[in-house]
Amino acid sequence: MLTLKNLSKSYVAGTPVLQDVSLEISARGITAIIGASGTGKSTLIRCINRLVEPSSGQILFEGADLARLSGRALRHARRHIGMVFQEYNLVERLTVMENLLSGRLGYVPAWRAWRRKFPPEDIHRAFELLDVVGLAGFANQRADALSGGQRQRVGIARAVMQEPTLLLADEPTSSLDPKTSVEIMELLANIAHSRKIPVLVNMHDVELARRFADRIVGMAEGRVVFDGPPAQLTDEMLTTIYGGQGWLH
Amino acid sequence: MTDPTATVAALPADPFRRSLWPRLAAVALAVYVVYACAQLEVSWERVQTGLDNAAKFFSRLFPPNFHRRDLLVKGLSESLEIAVLASTLGILLALPIGLCAARNLMPLWVTWPARLVIVLSRSFHPVIVAILFVKAVGFGALAGALALTVASIGFIGKLFTEAIEEISLKQVEAIRATGAPFASVLAFGVLPQVFSRFIGFATYQLDSNLRNSTMVGIVGAGGIGGTLFAAFQRFDYDFVCAILISIITLIMIGEVLATAVRAIFIENATLPDLLRPGAAMRRVRHAEDD
Amino acid sequence: MSAADPARAVGPVGTSTERIWRRFSSAQRLARFTVYLVIVAAIVVSIQTVEVIPEFLADAPEQVADLLARMWPIDFAHYPGTVHAALTETIHIATLGTLLSLMLAVPVGILAAHNLVPVTPLNLAAKLILVSSRSVNSLVWALLFVGIFGPGALAGTLAIAFRSIGFVGKLLGEALEEAQAGPIEALTAAGAPWASRMTFGYWPQVKPAFWSIALFRWDINVRESAVLGLVGAGGIGMALDSALNLFQWPRVAVILLAIFAVVILAEVAVTQVRRRVI
């Protein structure tokens, strides 16, 4: 359960990227955030786990305001929030297994992590996750030897290794071809439903959003202008979100 | 219809005419060479006399005289020890200093002092630093080891900082997002990206220290340099030759070992892999030479 | 690399397998462990054998303070006379030495590159020359040349040149070996002789690397030339040597400062040239 209250962010004083955004994410399943480039979708997602510092507002998650936390408290909170990135952000020189295990770094003491002495349950879970994402046998491949789609699967597995109660995805399919994009969205939907956690996905492909999301949040100029199931997303509404007429047909 | 004469006139006169600057530079260089040679009193006669001397000199070098074996071995092992200690201490100190000097990871008040330390360590020739250490801690190998430690900090520190400043911060961001403590962010996000380069210049510095350790003795800082200098001043040229041959051999062995270490840590070679001729050990680019 | 896959499933047949993951195979771990062992042994032996006289070590801060006190006030008056001339001589040594080494290193570097000169004995001989040049320190080269040509800047210049051949030749050889085969193939197919292949095929590709290497080595040589005088090979090292022998610490101080200034200026010059030309 995640509640955003009056979240605002300005990178440059006077030009807010996020204006007074209030949302409640409690449902399981995929919530897709759509909107034109630069309307604050990515900023919104990154404010939640404080990769970007919000200018004002509250982020209520698991009984604490994430916007106020720092140091160890913030790290502990981050453990429960998994994140998937547009460019996968895997550690290229490490193997797939090491990338997966890095999802447990919030739970394992630094010294043991350095020596790669992770608990056997973590290793077992990692192997299982590799099966789930369809990468069985890839454990010892270096991450930079994988294709884009494979890397994103590793990225998703890494996030799930954290046993998160919330999964964030910042344009997870923007660097992938259409077929792979669908596979990745299917994987995310699978995880949302099997683990019963909310998945907040930021995407620019409206068709993909319509197909996989249980709820769509449309943003324009830093504000929420649409919030509802995909069925309610009319062409008119899309024009409001993205502006302009020509692109719809 | 275009006028054919117009197109012909549009072609440049000489497509291969070179620009003026490189030619000017070449002329300036030639003038400089003549001027500098005059300043240094380099004349053809001097070179001629020198070449005559050279023949006599070389005849006195050979055959090399290995009879003073104890002295030779003692000097060489002292040089080796200096190199080992200087490299160890240098690497251990250069890592945190280099990390602190990385502008993409650390705030300004941390990077400035660290960068200052690195610049100062690099500015002086190891021999000069050795002279100062001899004054501080007395003659002997300790002064040499400390002097080369300073040189190592300067070299490894600079390269390590450059390597860190070139990493992809996206990978670091992802590790931070998992809630990992700072040490783990370093271990999983930063170090894997710089590790192979680090091994490259650490082994390089070990070789460089080995080379330098053979001559800090000239100013009394221990090692075979002192023996070499003394032999020279006594005109024991055949002993000098023996010493030189030993030094070259030692350094060549050092380079082979360095390549082996790089193969083991960068390419995850196994011991049998090392013995396979050539192919398994792809040469990793040296960062810098000394 | 040949290694058994460290990620394997173990466990009795029929039960849920307990999977084990190892970062490195046993053979790889053995190799790594050997390196660690050798390193630790070397360190331990070195610490035990190097003589550390505790009194000297404890004395060190006092000695350093004493040294700094003796250097003050810095004898700036000494500069215009001997020091400036010696400094310019040092720069000449460095520059001429570097230029000479470039001329000598190019043929040797070419001979060492297998893709240019496919005669392996020649490659090995050239590589041997390069390794020897690098292994002998510039101070030692200086000693040799002082023995042959007598004390003075000539010995220093030759010492710098011969030391740099190994450096320049090796990096040049690497740049040549990494040159792309495409343009060379095109030239060969067009029937170009060896010399033309060199000028039009390889030279344009290695030109930026060549000048970068040359600048880099010049920078290092400025530093090296400053100390050659300690063995009589000219330059500011000789002024330093006499000042040290006479314990004239204020003069030593001004000389050290002058060397420092020249080194910094050289680095600045090199950075500027790199930015503009390369």
Q: What's the rounded mean pLDDT across residues A144-170?
A: 93
The tokens of A221 are what? 């100029």
Report pLDDT digits (tens) over B71-102.
Answer: 889 999 999 999 999 999 999 999 999 999 99
Average pLDDT estimate for C114-118: 78
* pLDDT category of residue A78 using cuts at 50, 70 and 90: very high
Average pLDDT over residues C198-225: 86
pLDDT of the residue at B54: 80
Closest partner residue to A110 (CB to CB) among B173, B177, B181 is: B181
Distance between CA C107 and CA C126 in Å, rounded?
Answer: 9
CA separation for the pair B81, B87 (Å, rounded) = 10
C106 pLDDT higher than 60: yes
Label residues C23-55 b or e (16+ Cβ within 10 Å = b): bbbebbeebbeeeeeeeeebbeebeeebeeeee
Looking at CATH, the fold of the domain delimited by A1-26+35-76+199-244 is given as Rossmann fold (3.40.50)
| Residue B257 CB coordination number (10 Å) | 16
Q: Å from B182 to nearest chain A CA?
A: 9
The closest alpha carbon to C2, from A133, A67, A234, B268, belongs to: B268
pLDDT at C18 over 70: no
CB A187 within 8 A of CB A220: no
A-chain CB neighbours of C2 within 8 Å are none
What is the domain partition of chain B in residue ranges? 76-275
Task: Inform me whether the C-beta atom of residue B80 falls under 8 Å from chain C C-beta atoms.
Answer: yes
Q: Which of A52, A62, A83, A91 to mutate to test the interface with B (most CBs of B within 10 A)?
A: A91
- Burial class from Cβ neighbours inside 10 Å (0-12, 13-18, 19+) for residue B65 reads middle
Q: What is the pLDDT of residue C216?
A: 86
Task: Tell me what pLDDT residue B80 has.
Answer: 92
pLDDT-derived band at C144 (thresholds 50, 70, 90) equals confident
Domain ranges (residues) in chain C: 1-67, 78-277
Q: Residue B284: pLDDT above 50? A: no
Alpha-carbon gap: A233 to the closest alpha carbon of chain B (Å) = 32
Distance of CA A190 to the CA centre of its chain: 14
Contacts 24+ apart (CB under 8 A), B31-40: B32/C95, B33/C96, B33/C99, B36/C92, B36/C95, B36/C96, B37/C96, B39/C88, B39/C89, B39/C92, B40/C89, B40/C92, B40/C93, B40/C96, B40/C152, B40/C153, B40/C154, B40/C157, B40/C234
Query: Mean pLDDT for chain B?
Result: 83
**Average pLDDT, integer, range B182-207:** 90
Contacts of B253 (CB under 8 A, 6+ apart): none
Inspect the interface and report whether the beta carbons of B188 and A93 lie closer than 8 Å. no
**pLDDT higher than threshold 90 for residue B14:** no
Helices (H) and strands (E) in chain B, counts: 13, 0
CB C82 within 8 A of CB C239: yes
Place of tokens 């789609």: A149
Q: Residue A221's pLDDT band (boundaries 50, 70, 90)?
A: confident
Q: CB–CB of C5 and A140 under 8 A?
A: yes
Question: In chain B, whose CA is at the least distance from the CA of A112?
Answer: B184
Tens digit of each residue's pLDDT (9 = 90 or more) over A2-29: 899 999 998 888 888 888 899 998 877 8
Q: Choose the weakest-confidence range: A119-128, A225-234, B15-24.
A: B15-24
Domain boundaries, chain A: 1-26+35-76+199-244
Mean pLDDT for chain C overall: 83
Give the contacts of B69 (CB within 8 A, at least 6 positions apart).
none
Indicate whether C137 pLDDT > 90: no
Read off the pTM: 0.79
Map tokens 């000028």 to a residue. C199
Chain C neighbors of B88, CB-CB under 8 A:
39, 43
Element spanning C66, H or E: helix C54-71
Best interface-test mutation with B: which of C47, C50, C124 has the largest number of B CBs within 10 A?
C50
The more confidently predicted of residues B50 and A183 is A183
Q: How far apart are CA A194 and CA A207, in angstroms?
A: 23
Strands A215-220 and A198-202: unpaired
Q: How far apart are the first and last CA of chain A?
A: 37
Structural fold of domain C78-277: MetI-like fold (1.10.3720)
CATH code of domain B76-275: 1.10.3720.10
What is the number of CB-based contacts under 8 A between chain B and chain C? Answer: 188
Residues A202, A33: contact at Cβ < 8 Å? Answer: yes
**Contact yes or no for C23 and A116 at CB 8 A:** yes
Stretch C242-252: mean pLDDT: 87
